Structure 1
Amino acid sequence: MDGVLDTQPDEMKPWIDHLQPLEVISVTDETPDVKTFTFRADGHTWFRYKPGQFITLELPTADGPLMRTYTLSSSPSRPFSVAVTVKAQPTSIGTRWMFDNLRPGSRVRAFGPAGHFTHFAHPASRYLFLSAGSGVTPMMSMLRWFSDCAPQTDITFVHCARTPQDILFREELELLATRMPNLSLHFIVKDRTAGRKVWSGHVGMLDMARIPLMAPDLREREAFCCGPEPFMQAMQDALKAHGFDLHHYHQESFGLALPEGGATPEDIEMAADQDVLPIRFSLSGVDGECAPGQTVLQAARSAGVRIGAACESGICGTCKVMKLSGEVVMSHNGGILDEEIEEGYILACCSRPTTPVDVEA
C-alpha cells in the first residue's frame, strides 16, 4: 500500500468519510454468490471503528447514486483497510452492481462507520455468537478482533448455512478454533448432500433443544445474533424459553427500532405546528422552504438539493450534515453521536426545523 510502509501509525490520521473516498484493493470470491470487497483510503489514513459496525456505500449506478448499507467483516485491530462481505440475492440491485463493476482500483464514496451492534458496548467474560447466512459478517469482525487482541476469550460460535459449501469463512473459522483455546465452534447445515464434500456435522435447524447442548452455560453468556429476521426471532424465543435474560441479548437489524434519542413527541408536535420556514442549503447555494413537520431531508429534495440517505430512520447516519444556524428538533435511532450533535451536526432525515435554518448541503 503506497505510503503505508514508510509511515508510522502515530503519524497517520483517521479516515474522514465525507472527505475521502475508498479505493478497492481486492475482490475475493467466498462462494458463487458472495464476495468480499476490501478497501483502503489514501496511504496516510487508518480506519477507526468498532467491531460489528457498518458503513454505507454510495454506488454510482447508471440510474444515479444508490445508497447501500453493509456490515464490516474486517476488524479495527487491522486498521489500514476495511472490508465488506456481501451476498447477491436474485433481486439485488446494489450488490449486483458491485459484483459487475467494482474492481481493484475502483473508487466509491462511503459514510460511517455507524451502529451499536458490537461487543465493545457489552463487555463480558463469556459470549454466545449466533448467525445464519451472511449474518456471520459482524460476528467475524468481532471474532477477528478477539483473535488479535484477546485470544483467551470464551466464545461459543454457532453458524447456520444452507449447505456445507455455503459456510462463509469456514477455513478461517476452523483455523481460529485451533488458535483460540476457548473458542467452541459449531456449524449447522440444512442439506448435507449438496456439493461434493462429505459432511459429518450437525444437520437441520438450530432449535430450542440444540442451543443448550452447544452452550450449556448460555445463561452466563452475552449473546449476539445476526441473520434473517425469522432466524433472529426464533433465537430470541429459544433463549427466552431457557430462562435467558434478554437484557444480555443483542441482534443486528437495519430495520430494528432502537430507543429514540433527542426530541420528544411533544417536540415533534411543536415542529408540525410551525408555519412554512425558509431553509438555506449553503453549499448548493439554494434557498428553499420547509413545510410544517417536514424534515430537512424532505425539504432538500423539494428544493432539488441532494443529501445522501440510506435508512431514512435515523439509524445509519448517512444523512449527517452540519447545521450552520437555526434550530431543529431531532428524533433519531442512534445514527449520530452526542459529540457530533454538540459540534452542530444533525441527521437530515429526522430533523424538523422550528426556526429558519441554514445547513451545509
Structure 2
Amino acid sequence: MTSTSLTLHCIGRRAETHDVTSWQFVAVDGHLPAVLAGQCVTLHTEIDGQPQCRAYTLSSSPQDPCWQVTIKDVGRVSHHLHQSLQVGDQIRADGPFGDFNLTALPCERPLLLSAGSGITPMWAMLRDELARRPDADIRFVHSARSPADVIFATELAALAEAHPGVRHALVLERVQEDAPVDHPWVGRLSPAMLKELAPDLLGRHVYLCGPAPYMVAVSTMLAELGLPAAQLHQESFGLPAVTSGAAPVAAVDDHFWLTLTKSGKKVKILPGQTLLAALEEAGERINAACRAGVCGSCRCTTTGDIDRQSVATLTPAELEQGVVLACSCTARGDIGLDC
C-alpha cells in the first residue's frame, strides 16, 4: 500500500445534518498528496491518552484545493472528533488509499447507489466525473431515513440541475405527511424502483456503498435483476458479510482457538466472527482504521485454515505467506496469529 503520513491543519467545519459534520483540511507543509475521488484517509487522534485511528472517505474531489472528510457521529472515534476537532486544530493523517473509484474502475454510464454515510465517496466521484465529462450520463440513487438525514441534499440537487445528464433520486424510509416537498420514492430501494430509475440497468456499471445490511440487500437484488458480477463495484462501511461459500467447519454453537504466537495467549473465536472482533472482545489492542477491508492497517500473519472477505492492499506474495486483514478474515478452525 502506497500512502503518505502528514499533518493536516483544519481550516473549516460545517454541519451537514443533525449528526453529520464535514471538516476541511490543508497540509501543514503546504502539499497534499494526489488523490483519486473515492479514496480514504486514516485520521489519528487520542482518547483518554490512548492512540486511536479511523479511516474516512474523502468527500472532496481531486479538483478541490483542500481535503474534506464528512463524518457521522457514531462510534467512539467519530464521536470524539465531533466533540473536539475544531478549526485551527492539527491532526495526523495517513493516505490516501483505496481502489474504489471511477478512475480505477471507469465506465461510460455509471449508476451510483448509496445509503447513509456511503454517499461520501459517491459525492466525490460524481463531482470528479462531471469535472472531466460535464455531459456524462450518470444515475445517482441515495437512500436515507428521512429528509433531515440526506447529506449534501442541496448541493446534489444543484449539481443535477446544472448537468442534464445527471438524474438523481432520494429514497426515503419515511417522510412527514405534511412535508412541503413531495418525495415519490418512499420506503426502501426495491427492484421496481431500480427498473424505473435505471431502465438500462444491465448496460451500466454499478458503484455501491453503504452500511452492511444495505450492501447485502442491494447486491442480492442486483444479481436477481441479472446484473453481471463484473459490473458491480462496491465498498462497505462496517464489517463485511461472510460469503455463502465460507461456511465454517464447526457447529454454529462451537468455537475455535486463536493463538497469539508472540504471547501464547489463546482467544476464543466463533464461526463467522472476524479476527478483529475476537481480539477486541478479548481485550487485545490491534491497529484498525477502516474496519471494512480497504485500508490495510490491521494486517496480521496467520497459520491455519481461514477465509478472507477482502484482500485489498495485499500482494500475491503476502497472500502466499498467510497475511490477512483482521477486520475481514474469519477462521475455519484453530489458527495462529502474529500481529
TM-score of the superposed pair, with normalisation by structure 2: 0.73
State the one-letter code of the partner of 1:317.
Answer: G
State the one-letter code of the partner of 2:155.
Answer: E
- Please report how far the alpha carbon of residue 223 of structure 1 lies from its aligned counterpart in structure 2 after TM superposition: 0.1
Verify the 8 A CA contact 1:147 1:176 in the aligned structure 2.
no
Name which of 130, 155, 158 aligns with 2:113: 130
Aligned to 1:200: 183
Verify the 8 A CA contact 2:296 2:325 in the aligned structure 1.
no
Larger Rg: 1
Aligned to 2:19: 33
State the one-letter code of the partner of 2:31.
Answer: T
- Please report how far the alpha carbon of residue 311 of structure 1 lies from its aligned counterpart in structure 2 after TM superposition: 5.3
- Please report how far the alpha carbon of residue 66 of structure 1 lies from its aligned counterpart in structure 2 after TM superposition: 0.9
State the one-letter code of the partner of 1:69.
Answer: A
Verify the 8 A CA contact 1:30 1:168 in the aligned structure 2.
yes
Verify the 8 A CA contact 2:18 2:148 in the aligned structure 1.
no
Verify the 8 A CA contact 1:22 1:110 in the aligned structure 2.
yes
1:17 paired with 2:31, answer no
Question: Secondary structure, in 3 states, of the residue corresponding to 2:192?
Answer: coil
Question: Secondary structure, in 3 states, of the residue corresponding to 2:226?
Answer: coil
Name which of 89, 103, 126 aligns with 1:106: 89
Q: Measured at CA, do residues 146 and 192 of structure 1 come closer, stay the same or move farther in structure 2, by a change above 3 Å?
A: same
Aligned to 2:313: 335
C-alpha distance in 2 between matches for 1:25 and 1:40 = 7
Verify the 8 A CA contact 1:164 1:197 in the aligned structure 2.
no
Aligned to 1:87: 72
1:116 paired with 2:76, answer no
C-alpha distance in 1 between matches for 2:138 and 2:291 = 35
C-alpha distance in 2 between matches for 1:150 and 1:235 = 27
Matches within 5 A, 1:221-236: 221-236=204-219
Verify the 8 A CA contact 1:313 1:333 in the aligned structure 2.
no
State the one-letter code of the partner of 2:8.
Answer: L
Verify the 8 A CA contact 1:314 1:347 in the aligned structure 2.
no
Q: Measured at CA, do residues 166 and 313 of structure 1 come closer, stay the same or move farther in structure 2, by a change above 3 Å?
A: closer
C-alpha distance in 1 between matches for 2:172 and 2:111 = 19
Q: Measured at CA, do residues 195 and 308 of structure 1 come closer, stay the same or move farther in structure 2, by a change above 3 Å?
A: farther
Verify the 8 A CA contact 1:307 1:319 in the aligned structure 2.
yes
In structure 2, runs of 5+ residues without a counterpart are 243-260, 265-284, 328-339
1:217 paired with 2:203, answer no
1:310 paired with 2:289, answer yes
Verify the 8 A CA contact 2:9 2:27 in the aligned structure 1.
yes
Verify the 8 A CA contact 1:23 1:40 in the aligned structure 2.
yes
State the one-letter code of the partner of 1:335.
Answer: T
Verify the 8 A CA contact 1:35 1:85 in the aligned structure 2.
yes
1:157 paired with 2:157, answer no
Verify the 8 A CA contact 2:118 2:236 in the aligned structure 1.
no
State the one-letter code of the partner of 1:85.
Answer: T
Aligned to 1:8: none
Q: RMSD between aligned alpha carbons?
A: 3.4
C-alpha distance in 1 between matches for 2:231 and 2:219 = 11
TM-score of the superposed pair, with normalisation by structure 1: 0.69
Aligned to 1:324: none
Q: Deviations 1:49-105 (Å, cap 9, x if unpaired)?
A: 211111111112224111111111111122x3111111113xx21111111100011
Matches within 5 A, 1:315-330: 315-318=294-297
Question: Secondary structure, in 3 states, of the residue corresponding to 2:206?
Answer: strand
Aligned to 2:252: none
Q: Measured at CA, do residues 135 and 124 of structure 1 come closer, stay the same or move farther in structure 2, by a change above 3 Å?
A: same
Aligned to 1:143: 126
Matches within 5 A, 1:240-251: 240-251=223-234
1:57 paired with 2:39, answer no
Aligned to 1:67: 53
C-alpha distance in 2 between matches for 1:191 and 1:68 = 31
State the one-letter code of the partner of 1:310.
Answer: A
Percent identity for Structure 1 against Structure 2: 36
C-alpha distance in 2 between matches for 1:195 and 1:93 = 36
C-alpha distance in 2 between matches for 1:59 and 1:73 = 20
Matches within 5 A, 1:268-307: none
- Please report how far the alpha carbon of residue 246 of structure 1 lies from its aligned counterpart in structure 2 after TM superposition: 1.5
- Please report how far the alpha carbon of residue 196 of structure 1 lies from its aligned counterpart in structure 2 after TM superposition: 5.5
State the one-letter code of the partner of 2:116.
Answer: G
C-alpha distance in 1 between matches for 2:226 and 2:35 = 33
- Please report how far the alpha carbon of residue 229 of structure 1 lies from its aligned counterpart in structure 2 after TM superposition: 1.4
Q: Deviations 1:184-219 (Å, cap 9, x if unpaired)?
A: 111111111088643333211111111010000000
- Please report how far the alpha carbon of residue 337 of structure 1 lies from its aligned counterpart in structure 2 after TM superposition: 7.5
- Please report how far the alpha carbon of residue 46 of structure 1 lies from its aligned counterpart in structure 2 after TM superposition: 2.7
1:44 paired with 2:27, answer no
Verify the 8 A CA contact 1:47 1:82 in the aligned structure 2.
no
- Please report how far the alpha carbon of residue 314 of structure 1 lies from its aligned counterpart in structure 2 after TM superposition: 6.6
